Amino acid sequence: MRSSNRNATRGEPTLAAALAVAMSLLWPCAARPDVPLYEASVPLKGTTEADRAAGMAEALRAVAVKASGRREAADNPVIAAANPSKFVQRYSTTADRMLKVGFDARSTEQLLQQAGLPLWPAERPLTLVNAPVGDPLELEAAARWRGLPISWSSGVPAPPEGASAVLSGVPSGTGFAWTFRHDGRTVQGRGSPADGVNLAADALAARYAPPSTRSSSSLTLRIGGMDDLRSYSGLLTYLRSLSLVRDVDVLSLEATVLTVQVVVRGDRELLARVAALDDHLQPVAPGEANAAPAADFMYRP
């Protein structure tokens, strides 16, 4: 679920803005595993009002864990003291007695900030799970709790398209020896299927939910690759699609380089990490050819 504070774009020439809006309707965003940060499903213990209130409190704790990437967020005193009904946008009960709750994105994000929690953006690597788990339900439930998109290995050596992280488990005693690899980094641990999920989620949250996401920052970016109107409108659509981006302001266009000011939850480094998940926004090395005037990133449709 996207944050409800949709990004505004200001400062564009009127004609260009109109064309950008028209083109954006035809420009599909890249397929990514986007996690619904502010939604959760929890068991409903009964049919009373008190049961529903308890379920909503549990759902809010689940959202705090999923959106922050921190397991301890469920026990955060600010989250525990919050009245869930003030943040609920919708809820329903399923046939198998699960309470599905959707929370308002803006107010829930503000609550997480008040709690001093970071934000793990909705764009997350797809993790390929390669482990002989007899019953996958425990691992899948843990992955939902942590907001970790997973795909089970089909036995082929190469990950499926879109998988950029691998969680491997080898039976060891009563559990598994787990190894998680992503972006050239490897971490290891032992334990249950849920422990394997936590190993992966903790590693990813450390990289994509840094302390800088506890607040917002304004960045000026020079982005090359604006060869035509389609590239221009595609870039703006792409920036608006990123869950950590709060505002986009076009400042200037010089040759093929567009200068924009963006407000993000986090910093420039995190924006580059999230963008690297789909390669549409690629950092430009100093002195790289075909990047004049100087650009920070190149946009690739």
Per-residue model confidence as pLDDT tens digits over 207-225:
999 999 999 999 999 999 9
Q: Is 118 exposed, middle or buried (0-12, 13-18, 19+ CB in 10 A)?
A: buried
Q: Which residues fall within 8 angstroms of residue 109, CB to CB, at 6 or more apart? A: 3, 38, 67, 119
Confidence of residue 285 (pLDDT cuts 50, 70, 90): confident
- Residue 169 CA to chain centroid, in angstroms? 25
Whole-number percent of the chain with pLDDT over 90? 77
At 14 the pLDDT is: 37
How do 216-224 and 175-182 pair as beta strands?
Answer: unpaired
For 218, other C-beta atoms within 10 Å of its C-beta total 11
211 backbone dihedrals φ, ψ, rounded to 5°: -55, -25
Contact 272, 282 (CB under 8 A): no
What domains sit in the chain, N to C, each tagged with a CATH number?
9-32+212-299 (no CATH), 39-114 (no CATH), 126-208 (3.40.50)
Q: Which residues fall within 8 angstroms of residue 161, CB to CB, at 6 or more apart? A: none
Lowest mean pLDDT among 119-128, 219-228, 275-284: 275-284
CA distance 126 to 32: 8
At 155 the pLDDT is: 60
Contact 257, 224 (CB under 8 A): yes
For 224, other C-beta atoms within 10 Å of its C-beta total 23
Determine the residue type at 70. Answer: R
At 9 the pLDDT is: 38
pTM: 0.83
Where are any strands of DSSP class E within 26-130? 39-43, 88-93, 98-103, 126-130
